[in-house]
Amino acid sequence: MVLILLGLVSWQLERAVAVFNAPLPDTTVSLVAYPCAPPQWRDGRGLVVTLCPSDGVGWSPQAAPVPRLRGILADQGPDAFPAGPHRFTTQLHPTRVPANPGQWWGEASYLRQGVVAQGTLEDWHPEPGGACSLHCRYHSWRLSLIQRLRQHLPAMAQPGLVEALALGSRAGLDNSHWQTLQATGTNHLVAISGLHLGMVAMMIAWLSHWLLIRTRGQGGPGRAWLIVFLVLAGSGFYALLAGFTVPTRRALVMVSVASVAVAAGRRLRPMDGWLLALVLVLLVDPLAPLDMGFWLSFAAVGCLLLVFANRLRQPAWWWALLVAQLAVMIGLWPMLAVFDRPGTAMALLANIIAIPLMSLVLMPLLLLSLPLVMFSPRSAAWVEPGLSLLLDSLWSGLVWLGERSLDLPELPLGVLLLLAAAMLLSNFPLPMLWRRVTLLLVLCWVLVWPWQPQQSRAAKEGPQLLF
């Protein structure tokens, strides 16, 4: 199985690299394409749109088919929201990323997203008679929902966060948002992933169980499978609302594995379920390893399973939340170092506050109020003040924590691996002396490292060069 997966991944990667490195037309071309992602406004550049060509219109038979383009509309304002087939002319250029150390992941991200060319779009106008496939109609429908959300919530304090949490669109987040999210280690909150899709699945399962008991009593043996069907259908619909992005597909696979295992009554060992989800993700999406989130997501889940799966008695909720965040922070520290990404100690406190608030209050209220928001501006006005207050309070707290953030020290990779192994192994049934020594070492590190001199990341990276 491992050899088959490796072969499939290498074959898909070879095909993607061939398209990515295919020569681009050296003249101005006229294309018909449709936006397949929400547009983003960039100060000083214009409106950045991601386009999918319609049936290869405008490309010569000798040229490789280009899956996605990234274009700039310099003459459009930040409120422009194009959707559907459009015709334009452009001079295509290869995608560019910084050539500094630690920036190699940017080109892999372009390859992962299928974006192979970029250019400034000219003579941009709708194409009324342009063919709009099922994929085109889906993206036009989703973009219309995002536009409706913006129009119905004009006074929202944090409109970009509402888009990200409700519909998985991060186009409304600017640089200040990303700086705060990175400083507090809460980037995962604005990516529709396991936290969000798991909450949707649990809400659907609880509601389905309650309705079936009210209407059919205890029900028969098929009741569990009916609940699984409803959970998968509801989770799949929410994944489509969120754009069916890479983290959303990954979370949907994990939810499917867990739901089927519960309905089948199989006592699946946690690590077996984790490996099964990993295999299914690679089968569905062989290029998933090109996404940094793939490694961080599975590593975080693996850390949680190592900490909690072998316990005979689960701890109190507040202790479990603290241990979970500490295990994820220390467990992901070596991987962040490999990817040359800064870790922050403030992530521990920020996630301890944000995750319960998101899971128990904000996400349920947002999902339940989303139909009212989409129905009309009048019904949206009923829930807008409450949502605005909750989101503004959460964001104000993250900004306050981000301004006081401290980067984790840059230790050798071997030391980080030993620290992570010691922290994770301390949860296994080992002698109490080992656990006490491990916790003492971690406590000493927590007390000592803030007094070490910190060097700014910008000074270490130096100027960025584009090739």
Q: If you compute the radius of gyration of the chain from its CA atoms, what whole number of angstroms results?
A: 24
Question: Tens digit of pLDDT for each residue in 186-241?
Answer: 888 888 887 888 889 988 998 888 888 777 666 566 788 888 899 999 999 999 99
Which residues are paired to 87 by β-bridges? 32, 125
Q: What is the pLDDT of residue 40?
A: 85
| Residue 263 · residue 210 · CB < 8 Å | no
Q: What is the pLDDT of residue 60?
A: 42
Which of 211, 217, 250 is CA-nearest to residue 230? 211
Task: Give every CB contact of residue 346 below 8 A, 6+ residues apart in sequence.
Answer: 183, 184, 185, 401, 402, 404, 405, 406
Q: What is the pLDDT of residue 62?
A: 40
Query: What is the rounded distance in angstroms from the CA atom of residue 158 to the CA atom of residue 136?
Result: 29
Query: What is the rounded distance in angstroms from the CA atom of residue 325 to the CA atom of residue 451?
Result: 22
Which of 187, 204, 46, 217 is CA-nearest to residue 122? 46
Continuous segment of H or E residues that includes residue 261: helix 246-264
Residues of the chain with pLDDT under 50: 57-66, 451-467
Q: What is the pLDDT of residue 415?
A: 73
Q: What is the pLDDT of residue 231?
A: 92
SS3 26: coil
Question: Tens digit of pLDDT for each residue in 354-374?
Answer: 888 888 888 889 988 999 999
Q: Read off the pTM.
A: 0.80
